[in-house]
Chains A and B, each alone.
Chain A
Amino acid sequence: MIIVSHLSKSFVNPDGNVLHVLKDVNCEINSGDVISIIGPSGTGKSTFLRALNLLDPPTGGSILLDGEDILVKGYPVHKLRQKMGMVFQNFNLFDHMTVLENVMYAPCKILHMPKELAREESLALLRKVGMSDKADVRPSSLSGGQKQRVAIARCLAMKPEAILFDEPTSALDPTMVGEVLSVIRSLAKEGMTMLIVTHEMKFARDVSTRIFFMNEGIIYEEGSPQQIFEAPRRSATKAFVQQIHKEVFELNSPDFDFPGMYTRMTRFCIKYNIPEKRETTETITQLMVDEIMADYRPLTVRITHSDLSEITALDFMVENLETSPLQAEGVNPASLEKIRSLCKEVIEEPTTRGFRVKLIL
């Protein structure tokens, strides 16, 4: 369907420096593919997507769509874009129209669809994304997740052959990511050809037929989800997919903001899609910090989560300590028992600088 070869794109900064965002991108996209594009920030994932529908025209290389070069001068770009829809990070709904008008506007104006038919089809699409009850409100009164679902319906209204998703959940409150991903999932089931730039690793692994790992302006590694996530061939890919999210708290002063720490932990859990672990995290931390390790200062608390293995851990580290605080005298056995019951595993280990208690949730 689409064959991209030697695609490059460079920007000139205001200070005159040339920035090579895409260096040499080669790939083939077939009808029915669901491709997730993952990779570190600033490696050209979004630029690649925007180059495909010429929102950011590439500076070199070629893109063949059904054998036709779309980069030749005079190519009807708007026709291409009608076949290749796009969903943006910031939704970009038309604020001066109602939800329904947003969806039916393009079919009416571009495809010259009769208004009644467009209305019916648009309402059907809104129903599909669960937004039909908001058909007559303005986008400004919707939540982020609702806006993004409308944006997907708007895109579908043009009956595209492929859809480009440019970080569709990045601007969303973590609680709303799920509703958007589920809509995209159902599209994948229907066999829609899609390219999705995303940071949702689990989603990418579950929904995609192929994964592009982009790094340094090229498609660094390409393969099936199993191959990329479980047996990456190259080291940068491995480092990226196995990356661990973490947040560290240093309890080193009497002024430490305890409520702030719990808020940040809660946010961490929501952000990395483990809201169910929120309460456990807070209970355990409270027990550890206030009771069992109350005398151990300075204390470093760390929460980590790996998308891929879905392992969440709480680390409590004290410097210059040789024995486990859990074994110390005067520890409340009830509290200890409660902690052990909440954790999957408790690891007590000395480190080079002190002692660590690792609790796997």
Chain B
Amino acid sequence: MLMRKPFILAILMAALTLGACSPKDTGTLQLHSDADLAGLRVATGAGTCYDIELSKRNDITLILYNEDADILQSLLIGKSDVIVHDETIFNAHICRETGIKIAMKGTEEFPTALMFRKSDKDLAEACNATQRRMVEDGTMARLKKYWLEDEYMETEHFTHIPEETAGEPLRVACVTAMAPISFVVENEWYGIEIDLVRELAKDLHRPLEFKLYDVSSAMMAMKTGKADVMTGCIFITPERQEQFLFADPYHGYTSAYYVIDKDASRNKAGLWQGLKNSINKNLVREKRWTYITSGLWVTIKITLLAILLGSAIGAGLCAMTRSHRKWMRSFAGAYNWLMAGIPMLVLLLILFYVVFAGTGLNATAVAIIAFALNFASGACGVYNSALSAIPVGQTEAGLALGFTKLQTFFHIVFPQALRHGLPLFQGQCISLLKGTSIVGYIAIQDLTRAGDIIRSRTFDALLPLLVVTVIYFILAWLLGLLLKCAFPKKHVL
């Protein structure tokens, strides 16, 4: 039995691997003007300028993604025919490696700037001052040349900040993990906008703190004061200007239309060699496996603590649902009703951005609380159904023998309820474990997010997802094992 599960898993993965490598052959798509897009499937980033422009057309199929890596992936796996994105975002190196090319460049320049909170006028002003200084002393020109024209070194900053800094850190919300704008290598952020922020921090003598968000949660983080400046190739749009304050634009990016380059010589590595290359690229290079291990630890931490806390709250709730006081039963009923109705992600966002927004509580703690609150409701249900399975006669027999109420519960009822409830409880724990994969929304780098970060660097969807999947499988299995060990079947005396 133990041997069979991994075997089935292996077959599934092999099937996935083969499925992902199926090629389709026609010539490279030619584009000469916007009109040529007619009838094609076009992918781009949700909420970007391109989104706004392209959604005006009704002769194309527009596919929107939140993450840049997903946009590229959609082209590579044939879900889209062409992708529209910044000209800089997929540089020559990436194009070579993935076998795509720029078919056409856009004509319009989109002014791009760092974004601040409306109330943070001083900070925006400081940023403008820094940019003016950079333009005057030529730093800006050299910065752009370094990141946008030269073949940059991926792990070298353009701007060097002196070691000593003081005061509140400048919290940077990065919505792009993509060279050359902003990207992570071995937990250090690099890129043109990163250096821009570093210049600002240098002038302000403040330390820096970076966090990766997706666009919508970054906006939320900005509004609720969890981040001070937002970077990641943010185009200035009237809508955004209504809500946020932009610094002066530092550059105008044009768009590019990327298509699959059918003429590119792709190295047709065998399955085994391909897997080896993929492992090397996704896990070994730049010590990318460390994302996985640190993410794994975060996932384990959130899951276990939420289970412990949630079980305890659930026990309290269960006691309330069985209380003879009406208000207690009503409270527990209302709580369960509420938890049943709120999607986990919404609960997490509400707790993070609203309830605990003003407190200094860190994101991981908020996630633990959110999952514990949700888990408590499920655990309460499990306890209740387990306890209901024990006939009241068992309690009466215990009491009649001379056990106290508490003794009767722990000696007689609980051991029997445990047998009924444990399988259900295990199911709850495992769904909690899997549910934690959404914590990336509040910028926690858990296991799933670790996979996302690797994907955004390597543009390889398969292996990171596969590795993450396998690890979740193993975690779920271990969790079951842990519960079995914690509550072994044994003789009572």
Q: How distant is the Cα of A158 from the Cα of B399 in the complex, in angstroms?
A: 13
Known contacts: A78-B403, A94-B412. The answer to whether A101 contacts B396 by CB under 8 A is no
Known contacts: A86-B400, A88-B393. The answer to whether A105 contacts B492 by CB under 8 A is yes
Known contacts: A88-B393, A109-B407, A109-B411. The answer to whether A96 contacts B492 by CB under 8 A is yes
The tally of CB-CB contacts under 8 A between chains A and B is 69
Contact of A94 among B397, B402, B407, B419 (CB under 8 A): B397
**Interface check A106, CB cutoff 8 A:** yes
Please state if A105 and B493 are interface contacts (CB–CB under 8 Å).
yes
10 A-B pairs with the lowest CB-CB distances in the bound complex, closest first: A82-B402, A92-B397, A92-B393, A86-B400, A106-B401, A81-B402, A78-B404, A96-B416, A78-B402, A101-B493
Write the chain A residue with the least CB distance to B402.
Answer: A82
Q: How distant is the Cα of A110 from the Cα of B412 in the complex, in angstroms?
A: 13
Q: How distant is the Cα of A92 from the Cα of B391 in the complex, in angstroms?
A: 9
Please state if A81 and B407 are interface contacts (CB–CB under 8 Å).
no
Write the chain B residue with the least CB distance to A106.
Answer: B401
Give chain A interface residues in 93-119, CB to chain B under 8 Å.
Answer: 93-98, 101, 104-106, 108-110, 115
B394: A residues at CB distance < 8 A = 92, 94-95
Q: Is the interface of B mostly helix, strand, loop or mixed?
A: helix
**Cβ of B48 to closest chain A Cβ, rounded Å:** 62
**Interface check B415, CB cutoff 8 A:** yes
Please state if B416 and A110 are interface contacts (CB–CB under 8 Å).
no
What band does the interface of chain B fall in when counting residues whose beta carbon is under 8 Å from A?
20 to 34
Q: How distant is the Cα of A86 from the Cα of B396 in the complex, in angstroms?
A: 10
Please state if B491 and A106 are interface contacts (CB–CB under 8 Å).
no
Q: How distant is the Cα of A105 from the Cα of B416 in the complex, in angstroms?
A: 15
**Interface check A55, CB cutoff 8 A:** yes
Interface-central residue, A53, A104, A151, by most chain B CB under 10 Å: A53
**Interface check A85, CB cutoff 8 A:** yes
Please state if A93 and B397 are interface contacts (CB–CB under 8 Å).
yes
**Cβ of A87 to closest chain B Cβ, rounded Å:** 9
Known contacts: A95-B416, A96-B415. The answer to whether A85 contacts B491 by CB under 8 A is no
Q: How distant is the Cα of A110 from the Cα of B419 in the complex, in angstroms?
A: 24
Please state if B397 and A53 are interface contacts (CB–CB under 8 Å).
no
**Interface check A170, CB cutoff 8 A:** no
Q: How distant is the Cα of A106 from the Cα of B396 in the complex, in angstroms?
A: 14
**Cβ of A63 to closest chain B Cβ, rounded Å:** 16
Q: How distant is the Cα of A158 from the Cα of B391 in the complex, in angstroms?
A: 23
Known contacts: A90-B393, A92-B394. The answer to whether A81 contacts B491 by CB under 8 A is no
A305: B residues at CB distance < 8 A = none
Known contacts: A96-B415, A101-B492, A115-B493. The answer to whether A88 contacts B402 by CB under 8 A is no
**Interface check A149, CB cutoff 8 A:** no
Known contacts: A88-B396, A92-B393, A101-B493. The answer to whether A154 contacts B401 by CB under 8 A is yes
Interface-central residue, B393, B401, B407, B411, by most chain A CB under 10 Å: B401
B401: A residues at CB distance < 8 A = 81-82, 85, 106, 110, 154-155, 158
